[in-house]
Structure 1
Protein backbone atom coordinates (compact mmCIF):
# COMPACT_ATOMS: atom_id res chain seq x y z
CA UNK A 1 0.00 0.00 0.00
CA UNK A 2 1.34 3.50 -0.76
CA UNK A 3 2.71 5.44 2.21
CA UNK A 4 0.12 7.24 4.33
CA UNK A 5 -2.91 5.64 2.60
CA UNK A 6 -4.27 3.66 5.49
CA UNK A 7 -7.91 4.54 6.20
CA UNK A 8 -9.97 2.25 8.38
CA UNK A 9 -12.50 0.06 6.56
CA UNK A 10 -15.22 2.17 8.14
CA UNK A 11 -13.72 5.40 6.80
CA UNK A 12 -13.30 4.05 3.28
CA UNK A 13 -16.82 2.60 3.29
CA UNK A 14 -18.24 5.94 4.44
CA UNK A 15 -16.38 7.83 1.70
CA UNK A 16 -17.53 5.35 -0.93
CA UNK A 17 -21.17 5.49 0.11
CA UNK A 18 -21.15 9.28 0.26
CA UNK A 19 -19.48 9.78 -3.11
CA UNK A 20 -21.60 7.21 -4.92
CA UNK A 21 -24.73 8.88 -3.61
CA UNK A 22 -23.74 12.55 -3.95
CA UNK A 23 -21.38 12.49 -6.98
CA UNK A 24 -22.20 9.38 -9.04
CA UNK A 25 -20.49 10.75 -12.14
CA UNK A 26 -17.15 10.79 -10.26
CA UNK A 27 -17.56 7.09 -9.56
CA UNK A 28 -18.23 5.80 -13.07
CA UNK A 29 -15.73 3.21 -14.31
CA UNK A 30 -13.79 3.96 -17.46
CA UNK A 31 -15.12 2.46 -20.69
CA UNK A 32 -12.90 -0.32 -22.00
CA UNK A 33 -12.57 1.37 -25.38
CA UNK A 34 -11.83 4.87 -24.06
CA UNK A 35 -8.74 6.83 -25.11
CA UNK A 36 -7.08 10.08 -24.07
CA UNK A 37 -9.48 12.09 -26.20
CA UNK A 38 -12.40 10.56 -24.31
CA UNK A 39 -11.48 12.36 -21.12
CA UNK A 40 -10.96 15.94 -22.23
CA UNK A 41 -8.17 18.46 -22.59
CA UNK A 42 -7.65 21.03 -19.83
CA UNK A 43 -5.73 24.27 -20.33
CA UNK A 44 -4.27 25.81 -17.18
CA UNK A 45 -2.95 29.36 -17.50
CA UNK A 46 -0.80 31.21 -14.95
CA UNK A 47 2.70 30.70 -13.63
CA UNK A 48 4.40 34.07 -14.03
CA UNK A 49 8.13 34.42 -13.34
CA UNK A 50 8.82 33.08 -9.86
CA UNK A 51 5.42 31.36 -9.62
CA UNK A 52 5.79 28.49 -12.09
CA UNK A 53 5.27 25.98 -9.28
CA UNK A 54 1.66 27.03 -8.80
CA UNK A 55 0.83 26.04 -12.37
CA UNK A 56 2.80 22.79 -12.12
CA UNK A 57 0.89 21.78 -8.96
CA UNK A 58 -2.43 22.46 -10.68
CA UNK A 59 -1.37 20.53 -13.78
CA UNK A 60 -0.22 17.49 -11.86
CA UNK A 61 -3.46 17.44 -9.87
CA UNK A 62 -5.48 17.71 -13.08
CA UNK A 63 -3.69 14.81 -14.76
CA UNK A 64 -3.90 12.59 -11.69
CA UNK A 65 -7.60 13.40 -11.30
CA UNK A 66 -8.26 11.69 -14.59
CA UNK A 67 -8.40 14.07 -17.55
CA UNK A 68 -6.96 12.93 -20.86
CA UNK A 69 -4.53 15.77 -21.63
CA UNK A 70 -3.19 18.80 -19.79
CA UNK A 71 -1.66 21.95 -21.25
CA UNK A 72 0.13 24.48 -19.06
CA UNK A 73 0.26 28.03 -20.41
CA UNK A 74 2.96 30.02 -18.60
CA UNK A 75 2.53 33.76 -18.28
CA UNK A 76 6.14 34.26 -19.38
CA UNK A 77 7.85 35.27 -22.61
CA UNK A 78 9.58 31.88 -22.83
CA UNK A 79 9.08 28.52 -21.17
CA UNK A 80 10.77 28.28 -17.76
CA UNK A 81 11.83 24.71 -18.67
CA UNK A 82 11.41 22.50 -21.72
CA UNK A 83 9.73 19.60 -19.92
CA UNK A 84 8.55 18.73 -16.41
CA UNK A 85 11.03 16.03 -15.33
CA UNK A 86 8.64 14.48 -12.82
CA UNK A 87 5.57 14.84 -15.07
CA UNK A 88 6.62 14.68 -18.73
CA UNK A 89 3.06 13.81 -19.76
CA UNK A 90 2.03 17.44 -19.22
CA UNK A 91 2.40 19.67 -22.30
CA UNK A 92 3.95 23.12 -21.96
CA UNK A 93 3.43 26.39 -23.82
CA UNK A 94 3.52 30.10 -23.18
CA UNK A 95 0.11 31.58 -22.46
CA UNK A 96 0.29 33.48 -25.75
CA UNK A 97 0.86 30.32 -27.79
CA UNK A 98 -1.73 28.34 -25.85
CA UNK A 99 -4.40 30.93 -26.68
CA UNK A 100 -4.17 29.85 -30.32
CA UNK A 101 -5.20 26.24 -29.69
CA UNK A 102 -8.68 25.09 -30.67
CA UNK A 103 -8.76 21.67 -28.98
CA UNK A 104 -9.32 22.85 -25.40
CA UNK A 105 -12.28 21.38 -23.51
CA UNK A 106 -12.11 23.80 -20.56
CA UNK A 107 -9.77 26.49 -19.28
CA UNK A 108 -8.67 27.25 -15.71
CA UNK A 109 -6.90 30.59 -15.25
CA UNK A 110 -5.08 32.33 -12.43
CA UNK A 111 -2.70 30.01 -10.56
CA UNK A 112 0.43 32.09 -9.97
CA UNK A 113 -0.61 34.31 -12.88
CA UNK A 114 0.43 37.66 -11.45
CA UNK A 115 -1.40 40.93 -12.06
CA UNK A 116 1.00 42.60 -14.49
CA UNK A 117 0.23 44.06 -17.90
CA UNK A 118 0.72 40.79 -19.79
CA UNK A 119 -1.65 38.90 -17.50
CA UNK A 120 -4.23 41.66 -17.74
CA UNK A 121 -4.08 41.74 -21.53
CA UNK A 122 -4.38 37.96 -21.79
CA UNK A 123 -7.38 37.83 -19.47
CA UNK A 124 -9.08 40.73 -21.23
CA UNK A 125 -8.82 38.93 -24.57
CA UNK A 126 -10.20 35.73 -23.07
CA UNK A 127 -13.19 37.37 -21.39
CA UNK A 128 -14.08 39.29 -24.56
CA UNK A 129 -14.84 35.96 -26.27
CA UNK A 130 -18.29 34.94 -25.08
CA UNK A 131 -18.33 31.53 -26.75
CA UNK A 132 -15.32 30.01 -25.05
CA UNK A 133 -15.65 26.60 -23.29
CA UNK A 134 -16.18 26.23 -19.51
CA UNK A 135 -13.98 28.64 -17.59
CA UNK A 136 -12.62 28.52 -14.05
CA UNK A 137 -11.10 31.69 -12.58
CA UNK A 138 -8.89 31.52 -9.50
CA UNK A 139 -6.32 33.57 -7.60
CA UNK A 140 -4.83 36.46 -9.61
CA UNK A 141 -7.49 36.12 -12.32
CA UNK A 142 -10.01 37.06 -9.63
CA UNK A 143 -7.85 39.93 -8.40
CA UNK A 144 -7.66 41.33 -11.94
CA UNK A 145 -11.38 40.84 -12.44
CA UNK A 146 -12.15 42.73 -9.23
CA UNK A 147 -10.74 46.01 -10.52
CA UNK A 148 -12.22 46.03 -14.01
CA UNK A 149 -16.00 46.53 -14.41
CA UNK A 150 -15.78 45.98 -18.18
CA UNK A 151 -14.37 42.50 -17.68
CA UNK A 152 -17.03 41.80 -15.09
CA UNK A 153 -19.66 42.68 -17.69
CA UNK A 154 -18.01 40.35 -20.22
CA UNK A 155 -18.00 37.56 -17.67
CA UNK A 156 -21.69 38.05 -16.98
CA UNK A 157 -22.42 37.70 -20.70
CA UNK A 158 -20.46 34.50 -21.24
CA UNK A 159 -22.12 31.44 -22.75
CA UNK A 160 -21.30 28.21 -20.97
CA UNK A 161 -20.40 27.53 -17.38
CA UNK A 162 -18.17 29.82 -15.32
CA UNK A 163 -16.66 28.92 -11.95
CA UNK A 164 -15.03 31.30 -9.49
CA UNK A 165 -12.93 29.87 -6.64
CA UNK A 166 -12.08 32.76 -4.28
CA UNK A 167 -10.72 32.62 -0.79
CA UNK A 168 -12.31 35.19 1.56
CA UNK A 169 -9.90 38.02 0.72
CA UNK A 170 -10.45 37.56 -3.02
CA UNK A 171 -14.20 37.44 -2.45
CA UNK A 172 -13.96 40.71 -0.53
CA UNK A 173 -12.16 42.37 -3.45
CA UNK A 174 -14.82 41.17 -5.87
CA UNK A 175 -17.62 42.49 -3.64
CA UNK A 176 -15.70 45.63 -2.58
CA UNK A 177 -16.04 44.95 1.12
CA UNK A 178 -13.82 43.73 3.94
CA UNK A 179 -12.70 40.17 4.52
CA UNK A 180 -14.36 40.43 7.92
CA UNK A 181 -17.68 41.16 6.22
CA UNK A 182 -17.30 38.07 4.05
CA UNK A 183 -16.55 35.87 7.04
CA UNK A 184 -19.43 37.34 9.04
CA UNK A 185 -21.94 35.95 6.52
CA UNK A 186 -20.31 33.49 4.17
CA UNK A 187 -23.53 32.11 2.65
CA UNK A 188 -24.76 35.59 1.73
CA UNK A 189 -21.40 36.49 0.20
CA UNK A 190 -21.30 33.30 -1.89
CA UNK A 191 -24.84 33.87 -3.15
CA UNK A 192 -24.12 37.51 -3.97
CA UNK A 193 -21.06 36.53 -6.01
CA UNK A 194 -22.98 33.79 -7.82
CA UNK A 195 -25.81 36.15 -8.71
CA UNK A 196 -23.53 39.02 -9.76
CA UNK A 197 -21.36 36.93 -12.08
CA UNK A 198 -23.89 34.27 -13.10
CA UNK A 199 -21.33 31.74 -12.02
CA UNK A 200 -20.71 28.79 -9.79
CA UNK A 201 -18.82 30.04 -6.75
CA UNK A 202 -16.51 28.02 -4.53
CA UNK A 203 -15.94 30.18 -1.45
CA UNK A 204 -12.96 28.51 0.15
CA UNK A 205 -12.28 28.14 3.85
CA UNK A 206 -13.33 25.85 6.66
CA UNK A 207 -16.51 24.21 5.41
CA UNK A 208 -16.12 25.57 1.89
CA UNK A 209 -19.36 26.74 0.30
CA UNK A 210 -20.28 25.85 -3.27
CA UNK A 211 -23.06 27.99 -4.75
CA UNK A 212 -24.86 27.57 -8.06
CA UNK A 213 -25.71 30.55 -10.29
CA UNK A 214 -29.29 30.28 -9.03
CA UNK A 215 -28.12 30.58 -5.40
CA UNK A 216 -28.39 26.97 -4.21
CA UNK A 217 -25.71 26.34 -1.57
CA UNK A 218 -23.83 23.18 -0.68
CA UNK A 219 -21.48 23.08 2.31
CA UNK A 220 -18.42 20.83 2.27
CA UNK A 221 -17.37 19.00 5.42
CA UNK A 222 -14.24 17.16 4.31
CA UNK A 223 -10.72 18.44 4.92
CA UNK A 224 -8.59 19.49 7.85
CA UNK A 225 -6.02 22.18 8.82
CA UNK A 226 -3.37 20.44 6.70
CA UNK A 227 -4.93 22.18 3.70
CA UNK A 228 -3.74 25.53 5.06
CA UNK A 229 -0.54 25.35 3.07
CA UNK A 230 0.92 26.98 -0.03
CA UNK A 231 -0.35 25.46 -3.26
CA UNK A 232 -3.42 23.77 -1.81
CA UNK A 233 -5.73 26.07 -3.78
CA UNK A 234 -3.79 25.39 -6.98
CA UNK A 235 -4.37 21.66 -6.50
CA UNK A 236 -8.09 22.31 -6.02
CA UNK A 237 -8.19 24.27 -9.28
CA UNK A 238 -6.54 21.36 -11.07
CA UNK A 239 -8.96 18.83 -9.61
CA UNK A 240 -12.12 20.78 -10.45
CA UNK A 241 -10.87 21.68 -13.92
CA UNK A 242 -10.00 18.05 -14.56
CA UNK A 243 -13.45 16.83 -13.56
CA UNK A 244 -15.09 19.43 -15.79
CA UNK A 245 -13.32 18.26 -18.94
CA UNK A 246 -14.21 14.63 -18.22
CA UNK A 247 -17.86 15.37 -18.91
CA UNK A 248 -18.88 15.37 -15.27
CA UNK A 249 -21.81 17.76 -14.69
CA UNK A 250 -20.67 21.11 -13.35
CA UNK A 251 -22.48 20.70 -10.03
CA UNK A 252 -20.74 17.39 -9.36
CA UNK A 253 -17.39 18.68 -10.64
CA UNK A 254 -17.51 21.66 -8.27
CA UNK A 255 -19.06 20.04 -5.20
CA UNK A 256 -17.37 16.69 -5.75
CA UNK A 257 -14.03 18.30 -6.54
CA UNK A 258 -14.03 20.23 -3.27
CA UNK A 259 -15.00 17.06 -1.39
CA UNK A 260 -12.30 14.98 -3.12
CA UNK A 261 -9.65 17.61 -2.35
CA UNK A 262 -10.61 17.69 1.33
CA UNK A 263 -10.96 13.93 1.64
CA UNK A 264 -7.52 13.45 0.11
CA UNK A 265 -6.18 15.52 3.00
CA UNK A 266 -8.22 13.43 5.44
CA UNK A 267 -6.78 10.27 3.90
CA UNK A 268 -3.24 11.56 4.38
CA UNK A 269 -3.87 12.60 7.98
CA UNK A 270 -5.49 9.24 8.75
CA UNK A 271 -2.17 7.64 7.77
CA UNK A 272 -0.06 9.98 9.88
CA UNK A 273 0.94 12.51 7.21
CA UNK A 274 -0.05 15.83 8.71
CA UNK A 275 -1.92 17.91 9.36
CA UNK A 276 1.27 19.70 10.37
CA UNK A 277 3.68 19.65 7.45
CA UNK A 278 1.25 18.22 4.90
CA UNK A 279 2.24 19.62 1.52
CA UNK A 280 0.08 20.46 -1.47
CA UNK A 281 2.14 18.20 -3.70
CA UNK A 282 1.02 15.17 -1.69
CA UNK A 283 -2.68 15.80 -2.33
CA UNK A 284 -2.83 14.82 -6.01
CA UNK A 285 -1.57 11.27 -5.46
CA UNK A 286 -3.95 10.82 -2.54
CA UNK A 287 -6.89 12.10 -4.59
CA UNK A 288 -6.01 9.66 -7.40
CA UNK A 289 -5.79 6.73 -4.97
CA UNK A 290 -9.10 7.67 -3.42
CA UNK A 291 -11.02 8.24 -6.64
CA UNK A 292 -10.08 4.80 -7.90
CA UNK A 293 -11.42 3.28 -4.67
CA UNK A 294 -14.69 5.12 -5.19
CA UNK A 295 -15.12 3.34 -8.52
CA UNK A 296 -13.96 -0.18 -7.59
CA UNK A 297 -14.06 -1.73 -4.14
CA UNK A 298 -10.69 -3.12 -3.08
Structure 2
Protein backbone atom coordinates (compact mmCIF):
# COMPACT_ATOMS: atom_id res chain seq x y z
CA UNK A 1 0.00 0.00 0.00
CA UNK A 2 3.01 2.34 0.24
CA UNK A 3 4.78 1.53 -3.04
CA UNK A 4 3.82 4.86 -4.62
CA UNK A 5 4.87 8.20 -3.12
CA UNK A 6 2.12 10.51 -1.98
CA UNK A 7 1.03 13.01 -4.61
CA UNK A 8 0.81 16.73 -3.73
CA UNK A 9 -2.60 18.24 -3.10
CA UNK A 10 -3.15 20.86 -5.83
CA UNK A 11 -5.91 23.47 -5.42
CA UNK A 12 -6.45 23.57 -9.20
CA UNK A 13 -7.62 19.96 -8.91
CA UNK A 14 -10.28 20.93 -6.35
CA UNK A 15 -12.81 22.90 -8.41
CA UNK A 16 -15.69 22.21 -6.02
CA UNK A 17 -13.86 24.24 -3.38
CA UNK A 18 -14.22 27.42 -5.44
CA UNK A 19 -17.44 26.81 -7.38
CA UNK A 20 -19.94 29.68 -7.53
CA UNK A 21 -23.20 29.24 -5.65
CA UNK A 22 -26.59 29.18 -7.42
CA UNK A 23 -28.59 32.40 -7.12
CA UNK A 24 -31.60 30.50 -5.78
CA UNK A 25 -29.65 29.03 -2.83
CA UNK A 26 -31.11 28.89 0.68
CA UNK A 27 -29.73 27.73 4.03
CA UNK A 28 -30.88 24.18 3.39
CA UNK A 29 -28.88 24.04 0.18
CA UNK A 30 -25.53 23.82 1.95
CA UNK A 31 -26.20 21.25 4.62
CA UNK A 32 -26.30 20.92 8.37
CA UNK A 33 -23.23 20.06 10.45
CA UNK A 34 -23.60 18.62 13.95
CA UNK A 35 -20.56 19.04 16.23
CA UNK A 36 -20.43 16.92 19.39
CA UNK A 37 -17.72 17.50 22.00
CA UNK A 38 -16.91 20.14 24.55
CA UNK A 39 -16.84 18.33 27.85
CA UNK A 40 -16.37 20.30 31.09
CA UNK A 41 -13.66 22.92 30.68
CA UNK A 42 -13.30 22.25 26.94
CA UNK A 43 -16.25 24.07 25.38
CA UNK A 44 -13.89 26.25 23.37
CA UNK A 45 -12.70 23.34 21.21
CA UNK A 46 -16.24 22.62 20.08
CA UNK A 47 -16.98 26.29 19.45
CA UNK A 48 -13.87 26.57 17.27
CA UNK A 49 -15.05 23.63 15.18
CA UNK A 50 -18.58 24.98 14.94
CA UNK A 51 -17.48 28.49 13.99
CA UNK A 52 -15.17 27.10 11.31
CA UNK A 53 -17.96 24.93 9.89
CA UNK A 54 -20.21 27.98 9.60
CA UNK A 55 -17.61 30.30 8.06
CA UNK A 56 -16.50 27.71 5.52
CA UNK A 57 -20.03 27.65 4.19
CA UNK A 58 -22.37 25.22 5.96
CA UNK A 59 -25.98 26.35 5.96
CA UNK A 60 -26.61 25.42 9.60
CA UNK A 61 -24.41 24.27 12.48
CA UNK A 62 -25.67 22.42 15.56
CA UNK A 63 -23.39 22.10 18.59
CA UNK A 64 -23.94 19.48 21.29
CA UNK A 65 -21.86 19.72 24.48
CA UNK A 66 -20.98 16.52 26.33
CA UNK A 67 -22.16 18.02 29.60
CA UNK A 68 -25.27 17.60 31.71
CA UNK A 69 -26.49 21.04 30.68
CA UNK A 70 -25.52 23.36 27.85
CA UNK A 71 -22.84 25.65 29.35
CA UNK A 72 -24.05 28.81 27.57
CA UNK A 73 -27.22 30.25 26.10
CA UNK A 74 -25.45 31.27 22.89
CA UNK A 75 -22.02 31.87 21.44
CA UNK A 76 -21.68 35.65 21.69
CA UNK A 77 -19.05 35.71 18.94
CA UNK A 78 -21.10 33.48 16.63
CA UNK A 79 -24.76 33.56 17.69
CA UNK A 80 -25.76 31.73 14.51
CA UNK A 81 -24.57 28.48 16.11
CA UNK A 82 -27.39 26.44 17.66
CA UNK A 83 -26.18 25.25 21.05
CA UNK A 84 -27.57 22.56 23.36
CA UNK A 85 -26.40 19.63 25.42
CA UNK A 86 -25.45 16.54 23.45
CA UNK A 87 -28.40 14.69 24.98
CA UNK A 88 -30.81 17.41 23.83
CA UNK A 89 -29.23 17.37 20.37
CA UNK A 90 -29.84 13.64 20.00
CA UNK A 91 -33.38 13.93 21.34
CA UNK A 92 -34.20 16.62 18.79
CA UNK A 93 -33.44 14.15 15.96
CA UNK A 94 -32.81 16.96 13.48
CA UNK A 95 -31.61 16.20 9.94
CA UNK A 96 -27.79 16.20 9.78
CA UNK A 97 -25.57 16.02 6.70
CA UNK A 98 -22.21 15.58 8.47
CA UNK A 99 -21.19 14.81 12.05
CA UNK A 100 -18.01 16.06 13.73
CA UNK A 101 -17.20 14.39 17.04
CA UNK A 102 -14.40 14.45 19.57
CA UNK A 103 -13.24 18.07 19.82
CA UNK A 104 -12.70 18.70 23.53
CA UNK A 105 -14.90 15.70 24.26
CA UNK A 106 -12.96 14.18 27.16
CA UNK A 107 -12.70 10.46 27.84
CA UNK A 108 -15.01 9.99 30.83
CA UNK A 109 -18.38 8.26 31.06
CA UNK A 110 -20.34 11.21 29.69
CA UNK A 111 -17.99 11.52 26.72
CA UNK A 112 -18.29 7.82 25.97
CA UNK A 113 -22.09 7.97 26.12
CA UNK A 114 -22.14 10.94 23.76
CA UNK A 115 -19.88 9.27 21.21
CA UNK A 116 -21.81 6.02 21.31
CA UNK A 117 -24.94 8.05 20.64
CA UNK A 118 -23.31 9.65 17.60
CA UNK A 119 -22.52 6.20 16.23
CA UNK A 120 -26.09 5.06 16.87
CA UNK A 121 -27.73 8.15 15.36
CA UNK A 122 -25.68 8.85 12.25
CA UNK A 123 -26.66 5.98 9.96
CA UNK A 124 -25.07 6.61 6.54
CA UNK A 125 -24.15 10.22 7.32
CA UNK A 126 -20.39 10.97 7.11
CA UNK A 127 -18.50 11.31 10.39
CA UNK A 128 -15.31 13.24 11.16
CA UNK A 129 -13.74 11.74 14.29
CA UNK A 130 -11.12 13.89 15.99
CA UNK A 131 -9.15 14.35 19.23
CA UNK A 132 -10.67 12.51 22.21
CA UNK A 133 -12.90 10.57 19.84
CA UNK A 134 -9.71 8.96 18.54
CA UNK A 135 -8.48 8.28 22.06
CA UNK A 136 -11.74 6.52 22.94
CA UNK A 137 -11.42 4.53 19.72
CA UNK A 138 -7.86 3.53 20.66
CA UNK A 139 -9.07 2.41 24.10
CA UNK A 140 -11.43 -0.06 22.44
CA UNK A 141 -14.54 1.15 24.24
CA UNK A 142 -16.66 1.90 21.18
CA UNK A 143 -19.13 -0.17 19.17
CA UNK A 144 -19.06 -0.37 15.38
CA UNK A 145 -19.67 3.03 13.88
CA UNK A 146 -21.99 1.96 11.09
CA UNK A 147 -21.86 1.98 7.28
CA UNK A 148 -21.38 5.69 6.52
CA UNK A 149 -17.95 7.08 5.56
CA UNK A 150 -15.58 8.02 8.38
CA UNK A 151 -12.68 10.47 8.40
CA UNK A 152 -10.13 10.04 11.21
CA UNK A 153 -7.86 13.03 11.91
CA UNK A 154 -5.02 11.95 14.22
CA UNK A 155 -1.86 13.82 15.06
CA UNK A 156 1.20 11.55 15.49
CA UNK A 157 0.56 10.80 19.17
CA UNK A 158 -3.06 9.83 18.49
CA UNK A 159 -1.99 7.74 15.50
CA UNK A 160 0.51 5.96 17.74
CA UNK A 161 -2.24 5.08 20.23
CA UNK A 162 -4.40 3.73 17.42
CA UNK A 163 -1.54 1.59 16.08
CA UNK A 164 -0.09 0.60 19.49
CA UNK A 165 3.33 2.05 18.72
CA UNK A 166 5.27 5.23 19.48
CA UNK A 167 5.00 8.68 17.89
CA UNK A 168 8.63 8.28 16.80
CA UNK A 169 7.65 5.19 14.79
CA UNK A 170 4.76 7.09 13.21
CA UNK A 171 7.05 9.93 12.18
CA UNK A 172 9.69 7.55 10.83
CA UNK A 173 7.31 6.42 8.07
CA UNK A 174 4.23 8.62 8.04
CA UNK A 175 2.81 7.26 4.81
CA UNK A 176 3.03 3.67 5.98
CA UNK A 177 1.29 4.65 9.22
CA UNK A 178 -1.51 6.48 7.39
CA UNK A 179 -2.05 3.50 5.10
CA UNK A 180 -2.09 1.10 8.03
CA UNK A 181 -4.77 3.18 9.75
CA UNK A 182 -6.82 3.40 6.56
CA UNK A 183 -6.68 -0.35 6.12
CA UNK A 184 -7.42 -1.15 9.76
CA UNK A 185 -10.43 1.14 10.03
CA UNK A 186 -11.64 1.23 6.40
CA UNK A 187 -11.65 5.01 6.78
CA UNK A 188 -10.17 8.16 5.33
CA UNK A 189 -7.11 9.22 7.32
CA UNK A 190 -5.82 12.76 7.80
CA UNK A 191 -2.44 12.31 9.51
CA UNK A 192 -1.68 15.81 10.72
CA UNK A 193 1.74 17.44 10.98
CA UNK A 194 4.24 19.12 8.69
CA UNK A 195 3.18 17.68 5.34
CA UNK A 196 -0.23 16.43 6.42
CA UNK A 197 -1.11 13.18 4.68
CA UNK A 198 -4.55 12.36 3.33
CA UNK A 199 -5.06 8.64 2.80
CA UNK A 200 -8.15 7.16 1.17
CA UNK A 201 -9.59 3.88 2.48
CA UNK A 202 -7.97 2.12 -0.50
CA UNK A 203 -4.52 3.34 0.55
CA UNK A 204 -4.02 6.07 -2.06
CA UNK A 205 -2.21 8.97 -0.35
CA UNK A 206 -1.72 12.64 -1.04
CA UNK A 207 0.42 15.15 0.83
CA UNK A 208 -0.29 18.76 1.67
CA UNK A 209 2.31 21.44 1.03
CA UNK A 210 0.42 24.47 2.36
CA UNK A 211 0.74 25.68 5.94
CA UNK A 212 3.46 26.90 8.28
CA UNK A 213 4.56 26.72 11.96
CA UNK A 214 1.79 29.14 12.94
CA UNK A 215 -0.49 26.10 12.98
CA UNK A 216 1.45 24.66 15.92
CA UNK A 217 -0.96 26.04 18.49
CA UNK A 218 -3.96 24.77 20.42
CA UNK A 219 -7.26 24.58 18.56
CA UNK A 220 -6.07 24.42 14.96
CA UNK A 221 -7.03 20.75 14.77
CA UNK A 222 -10.54 21.60 15.97
CA UNK A 223 -10.80 24.19 13.20
CA UNK A 224 -9.72 21.59 10.62
CA UNK A 225 -12.34 19.13 11.90
CA UNK A 226 -15.04 21.77 11.53
CA UNK A 227 -13.85 22.62 8.01
CA UNK A 228 -13.96 18.95 7.00
CA UNK A 229 -17.48 18.52 8.31
CA UNK A 230 -18.58 21.72 6.61
CA UNK A 231 -17.31 20.86 3.12
CA UNK A 232 -18.79 17.37 3.37
CA UNK A 233 -22.17 18.71 4.54
CA UNK A 234 -22.21 21.04 1.54
CA UNK A 235 -22.34 18.01 -0.71
CA UNK A 236 -18.74 18.13 -1.94
CA UNK A 237 -17.50 14.64 -2.77
CA UNK A 238 -14.99 13.19 -0.33
CA UNK A 239 -12.27 13.06 -3.00
CA UNK A 240 -12.34 16.86 -3.02
CA UNK A 241 -13.72 17.70 0.43
CA UNK A 242 -11.06 15.89 2.47
CA UNK A 243 -7.90 17.08 0.67
CA UNK A 244 -9.67 20.40 0.05
CA UNK A 245 -10.18 21.07 3.75
CA UNK A 246 -6.57 20.12 4.52
CA UNK A 247 -5.18 22.39 1.80
CA UNK A 248 -7.51 25.27 2.71
CA UNK A 249 -6.54 25.00 6.40
CA UNK A 250 -2.84 25.35 5.54
CA UNK A 251 -3.42 27.99 2.89
CA UNK A 252 -5.36 30.08 5.41
CA UNK A 253 -2.34 30.01 7.70
CA UNK A 254 -0.12 31.05 4.79
CA UNK A 255 -2.46 33.91 3.93
CA UNK A 256 -2.36 35.15 7.52
CA UNK A 257 1.44 35.16 7.54
CA UNK A 258 1.46 37.02 4.23
CA UNK A 259 -0.83 39.61 5.82
CA UNK A 260 1.53 40.03 8.77
CA UNK A 261 -0.33 37.80 11.24
CA UNK A 262 2.07 35.21 12.63
CA UNK A 263 3.46 32.71 12.38
CA UNK A 264 4.40 33.56 15.98
CA UNK A 265 1.21 34.15 17.93
CA UNK A 266 -1.21 33.09 15.21
CA UNK A 267 -4.37 31.72 16.83
CA UNK A 268 -6.73 28.99 15.74
CA UNK A 269 -9.66 31.38 15.80
CA UNK A 270 -8.11 33.48 13.04
CA UNK A 271 -8.00 30.66 10.49
CA UNK A 272 -11.66 30.44 9.52
CA UNK A 273 -11.90 34.05 8.34
CA UNK A 274 -8.80 33.63 6.19
CA UNK A 275 -10.11 30.36 4.76
CA UNK A 276 -13.43 32.00 3.95
CA UNK A 277 -11.61 34.69 1.98
CA UNK A 278 -9.78 32.05 -0.03
CA UNK A 279 -13.00 30.19 -0.90
CA UNK A 280 -14.45 33.48 -2.13
CA UNK A 281 -11.33 34.28 -4.22
CA UNK A 282 -10.44 37.26 -2.00
CA UNK A 283 -6.69 37.46 -1.57
Task: Tell me the TM-score range normalised by the shorter chain.
Answer: over 0.9
**Aligned-partner SS, 2:80:** coil
How far does the alpha carbon of each residue in 1:231-280 deviate from its partner, in whole angstroms, 9 at most, with x for none? Answer: 00000011111000000001211101000000000000011110000000
Tell me the residue number matched to 2:7: none
Residue in structure 2 matching 1:115, options 98, 107, 110: 107
8 Å Cα contact 1:130-1:159 kept in structure 2: no
Q: Does 1:98 align with 2:82?
A: no
- For residues 61 and 129 of structure 1, the distance between their equivalents in structure 2, rounded to whole angstroms, comes to 23
Tell me the residue number matched to 1:28: 19
Residue in structure 1 matching 2:221, options 233, 249, 253: 233
8 Å Cα contact 2:136-2:142 kept in structure 1: no
Q: Does 1:258 align with 2:249?
A: no
Change (3 A) 1:110 1:150: closer
Tell me the residue number matched to 1:62: 53
Give me the TM-score of the superposition, normalised by structure 1: 0.89
Instruction: Tell me the CA shift for residue 185 of structure 1.
Output: 0.6
Unaligned runs of 5+ in 2: 1-9
Q: Does 1:81 align with 2:72?
A: yes
How far does the alpha carbon of each residue in 1:40-93 deviate from its partner, in whole angstroms, 9 at most, with x for none? Answer: 000000001111000111111110000100001001111111011111111001
Instruction: Tell me the CA shift for residue 130 of structure 1.
Output: 7.3
Tell me the residue number matched to 1:279: 267
Tell me the residue number matched to 1:14: none
Give me the TM-score of the superposition, normalised by structure 2: 0.93
Residue in structure 1 matching 2:130, options 132, 138, 149: 138
1:187-206 correspondence runs (5 A): 187-206=175-194
- For residues 39 and 128 of structure 1, the distance between their equivalents in structure 2, rounded to whole angstroms, comes to 24
Residue in structure 1 matching 2:206, options 218, 229, 234: 218
Flag as ranges the 4+ runs of structure 1 deviating above 4 A.
none
**Aligned-partner SS, 2:62:** strand
8 Å Cα contact 1:244-1:253 kept in structure 2: yes
Change (3 A) 1:129 1:103: closer
**Aligned-partner SS, 1:42:** strand
8 Å Cα contact 1:164-1:201 kept in structure 2: yes
Tell me the residue number matched to 1:248: 236
Change (3 A) 1:149 1:198: farther
- After TM superposition, the structure 1 stretch with the greater mean CA deviation from structure 2, 98-107 or 224-233, is 98-107
Instruction: Tell me the CA shift for residue 102 of structure 1.
Output: 3.3
Tell me the residue number matched to 1:10: none
